[in-house]
Amino acid sequence: MKELDRYTRQTIFPGIGPEGQRRLGEGFAVVVGCGALGTVVSSALVRAGVGRVRVIDRDFIEYHNLQRQLLFTESDIEGGLPKAVAAERHLREANSAVQVEGVVADFSRTNAEKLVEGADVILDGLDNFETRFLINDVALKLRIPWVYGGAIGSTGMTATFLPDERPCFRCMVNSPPAGGTMTCDTAGVVNAVPWIVGSLQATEALKILIGTAPLSRDLVVLDVWQRSFESLSLADLVGADCPACNGTYEFLEGKPRTRVTSLCGQNAVQIWNAAAVGMPLDQIKDRLSPLGPVEGNEYMVRFPVGEQELVIFYDGRAIVRGTRDESVAKALYAKYVGM
Ligand SMILES: [Zn+2]
Protein backbone atom coordinates (compact mmCIF):
# COMPACT_ATOMS: atom_id res chain seq x y z
CA MET A 1 0.00 0.00 0.00
CA LYS A 2 2.80 2.33 0.95
CA GLU A 3 4.41 1.76 -2.46
CA LEU A 4 1.17 2.34 -4.38
CA ASP A 5 0.51 5.49 -2.41
CA ARG A 6 4.00 6.78 -3.12
CA TYR A 7 3.31 7.15 -6.84
CA THR A 8 -0.34 8.28 -6.88
CA ARG A 9 0.55 11.70 -8.27
CA GLN A 10 2.05 9.91 -11.27
CA THR A 11 -0.52 7.16 -11.72
CA ILE A 12 -3.41 9.66 -11.80
CA PHE A 13 -1.53 11.64 -14.48
CA PRO A 14 -2.84 10.14 -17.76
CA GLY A 15 0.58 10.26 -19.50
CA ILE A 16 1.93 7.77 -16.95
CA GLY A 17 -0.98 5.88 -15.39
CA PRO A 18 -0.69 2.55 -13.52
CA GLU A 19 0.71 0.76 -16.59
CA GLY A 20 3.36 3.44 -17.13
CA GLN A 21 4.30 3.23 -13.47
CA ARG A 22 4.72 -0.53 -13.77
CA ARG A 23 7.04 -0.03 -16.75
CA LEU A 24 9.09 2.53 -14.84
CA GLY A 25 9.50 -0.08 -12.12
CA GLU A 26 11.01 -2.45 -14.68
CA GLY A 27 13.32 0.19 -16.17
CA PHE A 28 17.10 0.45 -15.88
CA ALA A 29 18.69 3.89 -16.28
CA VAL A 30 22.41 4.69 -16.23
CA VAL A 31 23.46 8.22 -15.27
CA VAL A 32 27.01 9.06 -16.40
CA GLY A 33 28.45 11.86 -14.29
CA CYS A 34 27.00 13.01 -10.99
CA GLY A 35 27.51 16.76 -10.82
CA ALA A 36 24.67 19.27 -10.99
CA LEU A 37 22.88 17.53 -13.89
CA GLY A 38 23.48 14.03 -12.55
CA THR A 39 22.18 14.82 -9.07
CA VAL A 40 18.96 16.30 -10.48
CA VAL A 41 18.48 13.52 -13.03
CA SER A 42 19.13 10.68 -10.59
CA SER A 43 16.88 12.21 -7.90
CA ALA A 44 14.05 12.58 -10.39
CA LEU A 45 14.40 8.99 -11.65
CA VAL A 46 14.69 7.41 -8.21
CA ARG A 47 11.78 9.40 -6.79
CA ALA A 48 9.67 8.53 -9.86
CA GLY A 49 10.21 4.83 -9.14
CA VAL A 50 12.52 3.72 -11.98
CA GLY A 51 13.41 0.18 -10.93
CA ARG A 52 17.16 0.34 -11.23
CA VAL A 53 19.41 3.41 -11.39
CA ARG A 54 23.19 3.29 -11.75
CA VAL A 55 25.14 6.49 -11.12
CA ILE A 56 28.74 6.69 -12.33
CA ASP A 57 31.20 9.38 -11.23
CA ARG A 58 34.97 9.59 -10.73
CA ASP A 59 35.13 12.67 -8.53
CA PHE A 60 34.96 13.81 -4.89
CA ILE A 61 32.67 16.55 -3.58
CA GLU A 62 34.05 20.05 -3.05
CA TYR A 63 32.46 23.07 -1.37
CA HIS A 64 31.96 24.90 -4.66
CA ASN A 65 29.78 21.98 -5.82
CA LEU A 66 27.13 22.61 -3.14
CA GLN A 67 25.85 25.75 -4.90
CA ARG A 68 24.15 23.53 -7.51
CA GLN A 69 24.70 19.80 -6.86
CA LEU A 70 21.42 19.14 -5.10
CA LEU A 71 22.05 15.74 -3.53
CA PHE A 72 25.18 16.64 -1.56
CA THR A 73 25.69 18.14 1.87
CA GLU A 74 28.51 19.63 3.93
CA SER A 75 28.78 16.41 5.92
CA ASP A 76 29.44 14.43 2.71
CA ILE A 77 32.47 16.67 2.19
CA GLU A 78 33.60 16.31 5.80
CA GLY A 79 33.28 12.53 5.37
CA GLY A 80 35.45 12.72 2.24
CA LEU A 81 32.87 10.81 0.19
CA PRO A 82 33.14 10.29 -3.55
CA LYS A 83 30.12 11.69 -5.39
CA ALA A 84 28.89 8.26 -6.49
CA VAL A 85 28.92 6.95 -2.91
CA ALA A 86 27.19 10.00 -1.40
CA ALA A 87 24.64 9.97 -4.23
CA GLU A 88 23.83 6.28 -3.65
CA ARG A 89 23.26 6.95 0.08
CA HIS A 90 20.99 9.93 -0.40
CA LEU A 91 19.04 8.31 -3.23
CA ARG A 92 18.38 5.22 -1.12
CA GLU A 93 17.12 7.45 1.67
CA ALA A 94 14.69 9.00 -0.81
CA ASN A 95 13.39 5.68 -2.15
CA SER A 96 14.53 2.38 -0.64
CA ALA A 97 12.49 0.39 -3.17
CA VAL A 98 14.76 1.40 -6.04
CA GLN A 99 17.90 -0.57 -6.76
CA VAL A 100 20.45 2.25 -6.64
CA GLU A 101 24.07 1.61 -7.48
CA GLY A 102 26.81 4.25 -7.17
CA VAL A 103 29.91 3.38 -9.18
CA VAL A 104 33.13 5.28 -8.49
CA ALA A 105 34.80 5.09 -11.90
CA ASP A 106 36.11 7.12 -14.79
CA PHE A 107 33.70 6.29 -17.64
CA SER A 108 36.14 5.37 -20.39
CA ARG A 109 36.53 3.27 -23.52
CA THR A 110 37.72 0.34 -21.38
CA ASN A 111 34.62 0.11 -19.18
CA ALA A 112 31.87 1.96 -21.13
CA GLU A 113 30.21 -1.09 -22.70
CA LYS A 114 30.19 -3.02 -19.45
CA LEU A 115 28.75 -0.09 -17.49
CA VAL A 116 25.78 0.57 -19.80
CA GLU A 117 25.07 -3.00 -20.91
CA GLY A 118 21.38 -3.84 -20.43
CA ALA A 119 20.36 -0.22 -19.80
CA ASP A 120 17.08 1.06 -21.25
CA VAL A 121 18.32 4.64 -21.29
CA ILE A 122 21.59 6.52 -20.65
CA LEU A 123 21.62 10.02 -19.21
CA ASP A 124 24.47 12.44 -19.70
CA GLY A 125 25.58 14.32 -16.59
CA LEU A 126 29.08 15.00 -17.91
CA ASP A 127 31.28 18.06 -18.04
CA ASN A 128 33.23 17.24 -21.21
CA PHE A 129 32.68 16.59 -24.90
CA GLU A 130 35.06 13.70 -25.33
CA THR A 131 33.12 11.45 -22.96
CA ARG A 132 29.84 12.49 -24.59
CA PHE A 133 31.19 11.23 -27.91
CA LEU A 134 32.03 8.01 -26.12
CA ILE A 135 28.45 7.74 -24.78
CA ASN A 136 27.20 8.40 -28.32
CA ASP A 137 29.36 5.57 -29.72
CA VAL A 138 28.47 3.04 -27.06
CA ALA A 139 24.77 3.98 -27.20
CA LEU A 140 24.68 3.51 -30.98
CA LYS A 141 26.64 0.26 -30.80
CA LEU A 142 24.45 -1.26 -28.09
CA ARG A 143 21.29 0.44 -29.45
CA ILE A 144 20.38 2.33 -26.29
CA PRO A 145 18.60 5.73 -26.36
CA TRP A 146 20.46 8.51 -24.55
CA VAL A 147 19.64 11.98 -23.35
CA TYR A 148 22.26 14.70 -23.70
CA GLY A 149 22.39 17.65 -21.32
CA GLY A 150 24.78 20.55 -20.95
CA ALA A 151 24.89 23.65 -18.76
CA ILE A 152 27.28 26.58 -18.62
CA GLY A 153 26.93 30.19 -17.51
CA SER A 154 23.25 31.03 -17.89
CA THR A 155 22.66 28.67 -20.85
CA GLY A 156 21.69 25.05 -21.13
CA MET A 157 20.89 22.50 -23.82
CA THR A 158 19.32 19.10 -24.09
CA ALA A 159 18.37 16.62 -26.80
CA THR A 160 17.46 12.96 -27.03
CA PHE A 161 19.30 10.60 -29.39
CA LEU A 162 17.74 7.34 -30.53
CA PRO A 163 19.56 4.39 -32.12
CA ASP A 164 17.09 4.18 -35.02
CA GLU A 165 16.81 7.85 -35.81
CA ARG A 166 19.38 10.31 -37.09
CA PRO A 167 20.98 12.66 -36.17
CA CYS A 168 23.24 11.30 -33.47
CA PHE A 169 25.22 13.59 -31.16
CA ARG A 170 28.24 13.38 -33.44
CA CYS A 171 26.16 14.50 -36.45
CA MET A 172 25.15 17.50 -34.39
CA VAL A 173 28.50 18.50 -32.88
CA ASN A 174 31.00 16.91 -35.30
CA SER A 175 34.11 16.75 -33.10
CA PRO A 176 35.33 17.94 -29.69
CA PRO A 177 36.18 21.64 -29.89
CA ALA A 178 39.91 22.15 -30.51
CA GLY A 179 41.98 23.86 -27.86
CA GLY A 180 39.87 22.98 -24.84
CA THR A 181 36.49 24.38 -23.90
CA MET A 182 34.85 26.58 -21.34
CA THR A 183 33.40 24.58 -18.47
CA CYS A 184 31.34 25.44 -15.38
CA ASP A 185 34.65 25.54 -13.51
CA THR A 186 36.07 28.27 -15.74
CA ALA A 187 32.91 30.11 -16.90
CA GLY A 188 30.65 29.60 -13.87
CA VAL A 189 27.02 28.50 -13.94
CA VAL A 190 23.72 29.77 -12.57
CA ASN A 191 22.30 26.94 -10.48
CA ALA A 192 18.86 26.92 -12.10
CA VAL A 193 20.36 25.99 -15.49
CA PRO A 194 21.38 22.39 -14.65
CA TRP A 195 18.21 22.02 -12.56
CA ILE A 196 16.00 22.87 -15.56
CA VAL A 197 18.08 20.88 -18.05
CA GLY A 198 18.33 17.88 -15.70
CA SER A 199 14.57 17.93 -15.15
CA LEU A 200 13.95 17.96 -18.91
CA GLN A 201 16.42 15.08 -19.34
CA ALA A 202 14.76 13.00 -16.63
CA THR A 203 11.32 13.61 -18.17
CA GLU A 204 12.54 12.34 -21.54
CA ALA A 205 13.99 9.27 -19.82
CA LEU A 206 10.62 8.54 -18.15
CA LYS A 207 8.94 8.80 -21.57
CA ILE A 208 11.51 6.43 -23.08
CA LEU A 209 10.98 3.91 -20.26
CA ILE A 210 7.18 4.11 -20.48
CA GLY A 211 7.38 3.77 -24.25
CA THR A 212 4.03 5.28 -25.23
CA ALA A 213 4.60 9.04 -25.24
CA PRO A 214 6.03 10.70 -28.37
CA LEU A 215 9.66 11.66 -27.78
CA SER A 216 10.88 15.20 -28.36
CA ARG A 217 12.84 15.44 -31.61
CA ASP A 218 14.43 18.78 -30.93
CA LEU A 219 17.44 20.46 -29.39
CA VAL A 220 16.28 22.73 -26.59
CA VAL A 221 18.48 25.76 -25.91
CA LEU A 222 17.61 27.94 -22.95
CA ASP A 223 19.06 30.96 -21.21
CA VAL A 224 17.79 31.70 -17.71
CA TRP A 225 19.33 35.18 -17.60
CA GLN A 226 17.70 36.19 -20.90
CA ARG A 227 14.67 34.10 -20.00
CA SER A 228 14.68 32.56 -23.48
CA PHE A 229 13.72 29.06 -24.51
CA GLU A 230 14.31 27.86 -28.07
CA SER A 231 13.60 24.59 -29.76
CA LEU A 232 15.56 23.64 -32.90
CA SER A 233 14.47 20.70 -35.02
CA LEU A 234 16.94 17.79 -34.85
CA ALA A 235 16.07 16.92 -38.45
CA ASP A 236 18.05 20.01 -39.53
CA LEU A 237 21.16 18.78 -37.73
CA VAL A 238 21.80 15.46 -39.52
CA GLY A 239 25.49 15.28 -40.54
CA ALA A 240 26.39 14.28 -44.10
CA ASP A 241 28.96 11.59 -43.41
CA CYS A 242 28.93 10.89 -39.72
CA PRO A 243 31.32 8.04 -38.80
CA ALA A 244 29.24 7.01 -35.77
CA CYS A 245 26.03 6.73 -37.82
CA ASN A 246 28.00 4.59 -40.30
CA GLY A 247 29.05 2.18 -37.58
CA THR A 248 32.59 3.51 -37.02
CA TYR A 249 32.91 4.13 -33.31
CA GLU A 250 36.12 6.15 -33.16
CA PHE A 251 35.76 7.21 -29.53
CA LEU A 252 35.02 3.68 -28.35
CA GLU A 253 37.15 1.60 -30.69
CA GLY A 254 39.50 3.94 -32.61
CA LYS A 255 42.88 5.34 -31.62
CA PRO A 256 42.75 6.85 -28.11
CA ARG A 257 42.31 10.62 -28.24
CA THR A 258 43.55 11.03 -24.71
CA ARG A 259 46.51 9.34 -23.05
CA VAL A 260 46.92 9.46 -19.30
CA THR A 261 50.17 8.25 -17.74
CA SER A 262 51.43 8.31 -14.18
CA LEU A 263 54.96 9.71 -14.19
CA CYS A 264 57.21 7.19 -12.56
CA GLY A 265 58.89 8.31 -9.35
CA GLN A 266 57.09 11.65 -9.42
CA ASN A 267 53.88 12.54 -7.72
CA ALA A 268 52.42 13.56 -11.09
CA VAL A 269 50.28 12.41 -14.00
CA GLN A 270 50.70 13.39 -17.65
CA ILE A 271 47.70 13.87 -19.90
CA TRP A 272 47.83 14.19 -23.67
CA ASN A 273 44.68 15.18 -25.53
CA ALA A 274 44.40 15.21 -29.34
CA ALA A 275 42.01 18.17 -29.38
CA ALA A 276 44.44 20.27 -27.34
CA VAL A 277 47.39 20.14 -29.76
CA GLY A 278 48.39 23.71 -30.70
CA MET A 279 45.91 25.27 -28.33
CA PRO A 280 46.27 28.99 -27.73
CA LEU A 281 47.86 29.21 -24.28
CA ASP A 282 47.02 32.90 -23.90
CA GLN A 283 43.31 32.04 -24.10
CA ILE A 284 43.71 29.38 -21.44
CA LYS A 285 45.59 31.86 -19.29
CA ASP A 286 42.79 34.43 -19.66
CA ARG A 287 40.19 31.80 -18.80
CA LEU A 288 42.01 30.67 -15.66
CA SER A 289 43.26 34.00 -14.33
CA PRO A 290 39.98 34.96 -12.57
CA LEU A 291 40.27 31.71 -10.60
CA GLY A 292 43.72 32.14 -9.10
CA PRO A 293 47.35 32.95 -9.77
CA VAL A 294 48.31 31.79 -13.28
CA GLU A 295 51.86 31.95 -14.55
CA GLY A 296 53.08 31.21 -17.99
CA ASN A 297 54.83 32.00 -21.23
CA GLU A 298 54.35 30.93 -24.85
CA TYR A 299 55.27 27.32 -24.03
CA MET A 300 53.31 26.58 -20.91
CA VAL A 301 50.80 27.77 -18.33
CA ARG A 302 50.98 26.87 -14.63
CA PHE A 303 47.87 26.95 -12.49
CA PRO A 304 47.60 25.79 -8.86
CA VAL A 305 44.35 24.02 -7.85
CA GLY A 306 44.24 23.16 -4.14
CA GLU A 307 46.99 20.64 -3.44
CA GLN A 308 47.60 20.04 -7.14
CA GLU A 309 49.13 22.08 -9.88
CA LEU A 310 48.22 21.94 -13.57
CA VAL A 311 51.00 22.64 -16.04
CA ILE A 312 49.60 22.95 -19.56
CA PHE A 313 51.94 22.82 -22.57
CA TYR A 314 51.39 24.15 -26.10
CA ASP A 315 51.73 20.67 -27.63
CA GLY A 316 48.54 19.28 -26.10
CA ARG A 317 50.17 17.86 -22.99
CA ALA A 318 49.44 18.73 -19.41
CA ILE A 319 51.10 17.56 -16.23
CA VAL A 320 49.07 17.42 -13.06
CA ARG A 321 51.45 17.58 -10.10
CA GLY A 322 50.50 16.54 -6.60
CA THR A 323 48.66 13.30 -7.45
CA ARG A 324 49.41 9.80 -8.72
CA ASP A 325 45.73 9.12 -9.29
CA GLU A 326 44.98 9.19 -13.03
CA SER A 327 41.26 9.84 -12.59
CA VAL A 328 41.91 12.82 -10.27
CA ALA A 329 44.25 14.24 -12.90
CA LYS A 330 41.77 13.64 -15.72
CA ALA A 331 38.98 15.27 -13.72
CA LEU A 332 41.10 18.40 -13.13
CA TYR A 333 42.05 18.53 -16.80
CA ALA A 334 38.40 18.22 -17.89
CA LYS A 335 37.36 20.98 -15.48
CA TYR A 336 40.05 23.56 -16.14
CA VAL A 337 41.28 22.89 -19.67
CA GLY A 338 38.23 21.14 -21.09
CA MET A 339 38.16 18.09 -23.32
ZN1 LIG B 1 25.64 10.57 -36.60
Question: In degrees, to the nearest 5, what angle opens at C-alpha 111 toward C-alphas 328 and 68?
Answer: 50
CA of 244 to the centre of ligand 1 (A): 5
What pLDDT, on a 0 to 100 scale, did the predictor assign at position 327? 87
CA of 215 to the centre of ligand 1 (A): 18
What pLDDT, on a 0 to 100 scale, did the predictor assign at position 179? 60
Which residue in 41, 332, 54 sits closest to 196, CA to CA?
41
Q: Per the omega criterion (within 30 degrees of 0), is the bond before 167 cis?
A: yes
Residue segments in the chain with a per-residue pLDDT below the cut of 70: 1-4, 178-180
Residues with CB under 5 A from ligand 1 (ion): 168, 170-171, 242, 244-245
Which residue in 69, 70, 66, 67 sits closest to 78, CA to CA?
66
What pLDDT, on a 0 to 100 scale, did the predictor assign at position 131? 92
CA of 138 to the centre of ligand 1 (A): 12
CA of 249 to the centre of ligand 1 (A): 10
Record the pTM.
0.88
Kindly state the helix (H) or strand (E) to which residue 149 belongs, with its residue range: strand 146-152
